[in-house]
Structure 1
């Protein structure tokens, strides 16, 4: 069936992330002779989008699955009927163009799953109708990814970030006492994370950050050097490379099915960024500083390190719908030797759209040669980090599957 469908029907539709409100063009190539042999009498194209939530409950030995589906877009167009159009002389293939506009208020593509599931999914499907008993319609289905359109303010923020952020910064601080073993005097560590002071960070855009780390040893005699006899820095030695940091993005999703509510938690490890400082340095490590105490024979060694890098968030923008909404929290871990000595920074962040809705294409449906390169300097939106389950079509509401 699959080979027969592939031979008779071909969907020509660029595999790109789409922006809500965008006018989409494509075409379906139909091999008319093969379609007739396969008893295909009509060709249709459909666009479907929905929010699907599932919650599983247990009552004794019985498991119940509660499902709620909210339609987002339901578009259909007949492209060809048998006997109404034929290929050009010398060809067996008839090109059937189509064009449709996405609603402007669509939420982003999304997927989460654990004991509960939530999906916001979109699909384009070509259907070859085969009337008759025991005949199944031929189908070509493609999952597509959609992101909301960015506002003017979001586009200006993204441009400022791409050109090198020169606006205000926001500081988030954390401090911790720590010691190398179970007993002994405490040492001290403090970290200040500086991020652009923005209400929302555009997705798939390098966000610069600076992490300033300051450590102080326990009280030592002034004759002691900042390194031990093996040449290692005295505890606690701060990390000197941004790659030593742990950077995670935590997402909490609220899934609702009518009166039932569940939460799904996901944590994503963020990839190593590029140096964000103007001189390209990823780290500035200062020489240890001796700080005397009241007893002039004793003091502490203070070290300071500044790490410069970037963060990129290739995830669905923060959004709230009737049955599904999610929030994000950025988590930094600054590692130090010993049990429980890591310094942790947590900050709620809002992810926003980063791409404008392109203008409608010029020319007839499906025949325009206009591309994203002609519309947006940055090209199409980057792909979202969606799990394989989304692209496999799991938890997608296919709607009128029989039609």
Structure 2
């Protein structure tokens, strides 16, 4: 029989426990107290239940593999590799060890080293499949003719410590700023000057710099509306031109959307393909689309004089209103891996910010401003890795990652 993860309590059918990582998280990563990448944990054996179950010996096997599979028509092409050497340990055999007096449980600490340049854990299903699996198999072998051995299998979340760390610097330079603009007319049939909406994204300190995984990254988005050119005497609350475009204050939580786009390039013998996956904003953001906790400053409407060469617009201007959104995103290791390149699979990312302005006309589609930026996700920083990267060169534009459409 097999069961995933450790049981809450020992039973006759479950005399073994497999505990992996801090708080049994299954995460294998470095830290201040654990500078080397390794699978650390403890196997627990309830001796009385093991004897009742007729278990003769207990083994623990660590294995890993990289698998890519591409389907083309009726054909499937696959390739595989081993990032680490498989290891099998004999932990206990009958009569070899007993718990201290008054206790029933034997404990066996274990540790398997993982190369620092090993790829991170990942798994993507679908028509094209990419998997990087690290696994422990705990086996209690029974001395019975009929029946099954006791198995516990645990897949591990391996996060190598040095992925893109050399691209980090404590002082990166400026903020990461991207802007977008969209012109909006009152009607598709009406010619003449239009209003527009500007969007500015600002992520402090992230210009030419990777995003450490499992780290909170604050940002602001400033959305500014500029009405169709009108005279200052036009009422910004009732005049149709002065209201185009405008944003519904009650629906600000629906205005902005964020997606993390993952691009996975798979390689097999003689074939290559790239697949993409969206990780939507509600899994990345803490307060961006929650109406009750939305952090936004709403500016007053103010008239701004037109500056340009069009004599027809002399004396006119725009009614302007500004909205400043504040939030933060966390690129969780439960949702993403660091950016990496392997012989069989590459993973790259882009952040996609959208500002959706609902159309005032039923037959006119909504207006959308899109800002898309390729990003590099790095391993989480530590004091040791920060010291290693202090003299590293600044991340160059060409190193940001591949840019894909979509």
Q: TM-score, normalised by structure 2?
A: 0.74
Counterparts in 2 of 1:357 and 1:219: CA distance versus 1, 3 Å: closer
Aligned match of 1:119:
131
Q: CA deviation at 1:11?
A: 2.0
Aligned match of 1:260:
271
Pair 1:15 & 2:33 matched: no
Question: C-alpha separation between the residues in 2 aligned to 1:356 and 1:101?
Answer: 19
Q: CA deviation at 1:134?
A: 5.7
Match of 2:369 among 343, 346, 349: 343
| Matched-pair contact (CA < 8 Å) for 1:46–1:75 | yes
Gaps of 5+ in 1: 161-165, 360-403
Q: CA deviation at 1:46?
A: 1.6
Q: CA deviation at 1:189?
A: 2.1
Question: C-alpha separation between the residues in 1 aligned to 2:369 and 2:302?
Answer: 20
Tell me, what secondary structure is at the counterpart of 1:72?
coil
Counterparts in 2 of 1:305 and 1:97: CA distance versus 1, 3 Å: closer
Question: C-alpha separation between the residues in 1 aligned to 2:248 and 2:328?
Answer: 17
Q: CA deviation at 1:305?
A: 3.0
Question: C-alpha separation between the residues in 1 aligned to 2:169 and 2:154?
Answer: 33
- Which segment drifts farther, 219-228 or 327-336? 219-228
Question: C-alpha separation between the residues in 2 aligned to 1:24 and 1:357?
Answer: 21
Question: C-alpha separation between the residues in 2 aligned to 1:182 and 1:217?
Answer: 16
Question: C-alpha separation between the residues in 2 aligned to 1:66 and 1:105?
Answer: 26
Aligned match of 1:79:
91
Pair 1:106 & 2:118 matched: yes
Aligned match of 1:128:
140
Q: CA deviation at 1:214?
A: 2.8
Q: CA deviation at 1:132?
A: 6.9
Aligned match of 1:303:
321
Counterparts in 2 of 1:48 and 1:358: CA distance versus 1, 3 Å: farther
Aligned match of 2:303:
289
Counterparts in 2 of 1:209 and 1:2: CA distance versus 1, 3 Å: closer
- Which segment drifts farther, 242-251 or 344-353? 242-251
Q: CA deviation at 1:33?
A: 4.1
| Count of residues in correspondence between the two structures | 343
Q: TM-score, normalised by structure 1?
A: 0.74
Pair 1:214 & 2:221 matched: no
Aligned match of 1:190:
198
Pair 1:322 & 2:343 matched: yes
Q: Deviations along 1:130-177, whole A, 9 cap, x unmatched?
A: 4676654321111221112157667865xx8xxxxx951132122222
Q: CA deviation at 1:121?
A: 1.9
1:220-235 alignment to 2 at 5 Å? 220-228=230-238, 234-235=243-244
Q: CA deviation at 1:27?
A: 2.3
